[in-house]
Amino acid sequence: MRWHEIFGIAFAILFSAWATEARAQTSYGIGRLATAAEIAGWNIDIGRDGSNLPKGSGSVSHEREVFAQQCASCHGDKGEGGLGDRLVGGQDTIGTPKPIRTVGSYWPYAPTLFDYIRRAMPQNAPQSLSEEDVYAVSAYILNLNGLVGANATLDAKSLAAVKMPNRDRFLGDARPDVKSERIVMSEFRAVARDLLKRRAELAGRACVNPREENSMGPSMATDRFANSMSSALRHPGVIALIVAALTIAAMLIVDHGPWNRAKTQPAHVAMYHTTGEAAHAAGAKVLPTQPKSPVEPERPGPKTSPTVNPVTP
């Protein structure tokens, strides 16, 4: 096989790999970018400090009507419970053998009450209440628990200012092998930075200080090298180069292997037309072979069949 054919095949393999990688990094023409309105429809989570609370307000008096229509069938007329959970009462029972967990006794932050009501209530039609209705429902439940007045009107600022009775009674896990919630939250950013740095190192994109590299020890340095090699070997371009090299090597072996060499004969044999002549020249006795007689073909036409039970005269 000619060299230009070998390089042509290798080029075709590399081009195919490049095209595959480029296609993988581009879109397939499926779907579209989400609009700002569509993103806003999902971006409705409320922080415990009241962040992302929407505009609007709701009063306790307005909520009595909404609560009776949307909530009382499950939670009772006064939030005493029924098919749904109890919403009112239970203060000072959390530390007892039979705690009663309600919004007034257990809920830690008032803004997350708004978040839950807007996401999940009413159960048969979640997210069907308006922002004003959710503010009003939150105000009414807080009023039933004695946390806001009967004439209160809540909005983003006033709802975030409500302090729930059980806010400071959530404690971290006291076990020595488990970090408390406060420690985890205080170290969240540091942990996130360490994770991102580790991810960059595994991808072979981290820039490490030589002192840090030396302090890591031989085992971690070996792991870094192994991870870098693993990432490189998974790259489509590297895979294409390996395939092309193996293909060229296989073609060279096939074309120039020992089984593909021209058969040669000794000079004293190549001078004669037949092996018999070469044997005579070498002084050997050669016995002629008798030609085989050709098989006579059968004559065309119908074949005669032997007579069965011939009749004698």
pLDDT tens per residue, range 125-142? 998 999 999 999 999 999
State the pLDDT at residue 201.
66
pLDDT at 114 over 90: yes
Three-class SS of residue 58? strand
Q: What is the mean pLDDT of the chain?
A: 75
d(CA 31, CA 313): 105
d(CA 154, CA 159): 6
State the fold for domain 48-169: Cytochrome Bc1 Complex; Chain D, domain 2 (1.10.760)
pLDDT at 249 over 70: yes
State the pLDDT at residue 261.
63
d(CA 170, CA 181): 9
As a whole number of Å, the end-to-end CA separation of the chain is 84
pLDDT at 190 over 60: no
Nearest of 161, 159, 135 to residue 61 by alpha carbon: 135
> Which residues are CB-contacts of 72 (< 8 A; sequence separation ≥ 6)?
none
pLDDT at 146 over 90: yes
Give tens-digit pLDDT for 191-218.
556 666 666 666 554 444 444 444 444 5
Band of residue 184 on the pLDDT scale cut at 50, 70, 90: very low
pLDDT at 52 over 60: yes
Q: Both tokens of residue 250? A: 């296989």
- For residue 272, count CB atoms less than 10 angstroms from its CB and return exposed for 0-12, middle for 13-18, buried for 19 or more: middle
* Residue 68 C-alpha from the chain's centroid: 46
Band of residue 32 on the pLDDT scale cut at 50, 70, 90: confident
pTM of the model: 0.48
Domain ranges of the chain: 48-169
Average pLDDT over residues 223-248: 71
More confident residue, 241 or 38: 38
d(CA 298, CA 301): 9
- For residue 216, count CB atoms less than 10 angstroms from its CB and return exposed for 0-12, middle for 13-18, buried for 19 or more: middle
∠ Cα 148 149 152 (to 5°): 90
Band of residue 295 on the pLDDT scale cut at 50, 70, 90: low
- For residue 156, count CB atoms less than 10 angstroms from its CB and return exposed for 0-12, middle for 13-18, buried for 19 or more: buried
State the pLDDT at residue 176.
73
Helix, strand, coil shares, percent, the chain, to 5: 50, 0, 50
d(CA 131, CA 58): 8
Band of residue 251 on the pLDDT scale cut at 50, 70, 90: confident
Placement of tokens 């580790």 in the chain: 198
Stretch among 55-64, 149-158, 226-235 having the lowest mean pLDDT: 226-235
Stretch among 46-50, 100-104, 263-267 having the lowest mean pLDDT: 263-267
Average pLDDT over residues 220-224: 58
Q: Both tokens of residue 142? A: 């807080």
Band of residue 284 on the pLDDT scale cut at 50, 70, 90: confident
Nearest of 54, 196, 197 to residue 134 by alpha carbon: 54
More confident residue, 21 or 12: 12
